[in-house]
Amino acid sequence: MHDNKPFNQSRRRLAGSYAAVMGIILSLCGVTAYQMLAYAHWQAITQELKSVSGTLHDNLESKLMQPGQLSAAVEQALPGLCIIGKNCTNQPSDRHILGIVRQGDYYIRFLDQSGRVVAVLGQPPKGLPIYLQQEQQTLKTQTGTRYHQISLLLKATDRSPWGYMQIGRSLKEYDDHLALLKLLGLLGLPIAMLLVGAASWGLAGLAMQPIYQSYKQMQQFTADAAHELRTPVAAIRAIVEATRDSNPLTEQEAQATLAGIERQNTRLAHLIQDLLLLSRMEQNTLTTTQHPCCLNELVEDVVESLSVLEIAAHVKLLTQIQVFEPLYVMGDENQLCRLVSNLITNALQYTPANGKVTVILERADQYARISVQDTGIGIAPEEQSRIFERFYRVNSDRSRHTGGAGLGLAIARAIAQAHHGTLSVSSELDQGSLFTLALPLIFFSLETLKP
Ligand code: ADP
């Protein structure tokens, strides 16, 4: 396929289309997976923050006495809480009501009603603006780090407004995670595309292979057909040229010329007929009349018509009808005659003088079996599957004298297949060959056969 330009072009186009479609699908899958991961992560962060803030809110509200003032109970509940204006270490401790708050990326701020920061727990980022309007905010510091924060209104025990509590966490881990995912996607996509491209090229090659094979076969067929047609045409030209040179032409020479031309013409006509038959069978455009055919009669008729060849080849042609009832198959009688006749003609041709060809008709379950057995030259095992190919001859030089073009068995198998049957061979060199044709039987009562 490498040397064939149109096929390579189609392969490239096919691979390109595969790769483009796969690229779009991969990109869509990548973007969707990214969005889903980001969403799931974000949900986890906000849920955690909500549950921490809710628990703290419920715990602390019962400990708040005066607005803007944090009681000792609150300080006890939140060890490490830094009250603004007091000397505090601001060291988070392990003993918080919620252990999560001690994690480095969490902070809590208490603000009075005017928005002044009263106390701080954890490490709130510097330069974080104070928003009290919304319950949830995503904020960005000057350094570019993002924070997600929840602001809650706190009430003192007498239900009067106390101030606000803000609990937030850094989104650095979340943003880093997403950035890494993006980077992986951006780096992974070209690598994935390279792999997809290579796979597409291979797949396109695989897809093109059968088309290329049949294209090659067609090319071979055309070349073989042209070669076979050229032989009789060249022979006719040679005869005509030889006749033109002999001047004056005797009556005998004229007759010989005409006989020669007729012979070559017949050969040409047969060849064209065979080619047409094969191509029509292949395209399923052959109009055949299928009706019940009695194989007992058919075999006897064909054997009888070939008895002339039997005499000429000095080969004994025997028939063994090993059934007591007539075997019927549905089919085209002319084609079936052609098939059996091809097998017997070959057997006679490839069996030396004093040999024997036996045609056997028998029944094998739901099939009728016609076997043509000879004691001829046989076929080597490696050739046995190839002899059914069009124009294939085991030894082209050897069988050329038989006048065959190598189409006989190809036609025979095509006819067998068109009749839902099979044609197979088993053979041994110098021992003989056995061609077996199996055709599905039809069964009907004798009444229906009466005119
Ligand atoms: P051809 O017209 O050359 O006989 P076929 O298609 O009928 O073409 O047969 C293909 C080849 O198979 C033949 O050239 C021959 O070599 C081989 N062949 C067919 N039948 C026999 C047989 N009965 N014994 C040995 N060789 C055979």
Distance in Å, CA 298 to ligand 1 centroid: 22
Count other Cβ atoms within 10 Å, centred on residue 374. Answer: 28
Separation between Cα atoms, residue 320 and residue 317, nearest integer Å: 10
- Pocket of ligand 1 contains residue 335 by CB under 6 Å: no
- Pocket of ligand 1 contains residue 347 by CB under 6 Å: yes
Q: What is the mean pLDDT of residues 147-163?
A: 88
- Pocket of ligand 1 contains residue 346 by CB under 6 Å: yes
- Measure the CA angle with vertex 323, ends 320 and 329; round to 5°: 100
> Could you tell me how far CA 242 lies from the centroid of its own chain?
59
- In terms of DSSP bridges, do strands 316-321 and 356-364 run parallel, antiparallel, or are they unpaired? parallel
Confidence of residue 95 (pLDDT cuts 50, 70, 90): very low
- In terms of DSSP bridges, do strands 136-140 and 328-331 run parallel, antiparallel, or are they unpaired? unpaired
Query: Is the pLDDT score of 368 beyond 90?
Result: yes
The sheet that has 356-364: what strands, in order across it?
A: 316-321, 356-364, 367-374, 432-440, 422-428
What mean pLDDT, rounded, does the chain reach?
A: 86
Task: Give alpha helix (H) positions in 284-407.
Answer: 295-305, 307-313, 333-349, 396-400
pLDDT digits (tens, 9 = 90+) for 19-31: 999 989 989 999 9
Distance in Å, CA 191 to ligand 1 centroid: 56
* Domain residue extents for the chain: 64-170, 291-449
Query: Is the pLDDT score of 86 beyond 70?
Result: yes
Report how far apart, in Å, the C-alpha atoms of 395 and of each of 46, 263, 376 are: 84, 24, 15
Distance in Å, CA 395 to ligand 1 centroid: 9
pLDDT digits (tens, 9 = 90+) for 338-357: 999 999 999 999 999 999 99
The overall longest dimension of the chain from CA atoms, in Å, is 145
331 membership: H or E segment, kind and range: strand 328-331
Per-residue pLDDT at 398: 46
* CATH classification code of 291-449: 3.30.565.10
pLDDT digits (tens, 9 = 90+) for 199-231: 999 999 999 899 888 888 888 888 888 988 898
Lowest mean per-residue pLDDT among 47-51, 66-70, 90-94, 404-408: 90-94
Q: What is the mean pLDDT of residues 309-337?
A: 90
Helices vs. strands in the chain: H and E counts, helices first: 10, 13
Share above pLDDT 70 across residues of the chain, in percent, rounded to a whole number: 90
- Measure the CA angle with vertex 266, ends 262 and 272; round to 5°: 140
- Pocket of ligand 1 contains residue 375 by CB under 6 Å: no
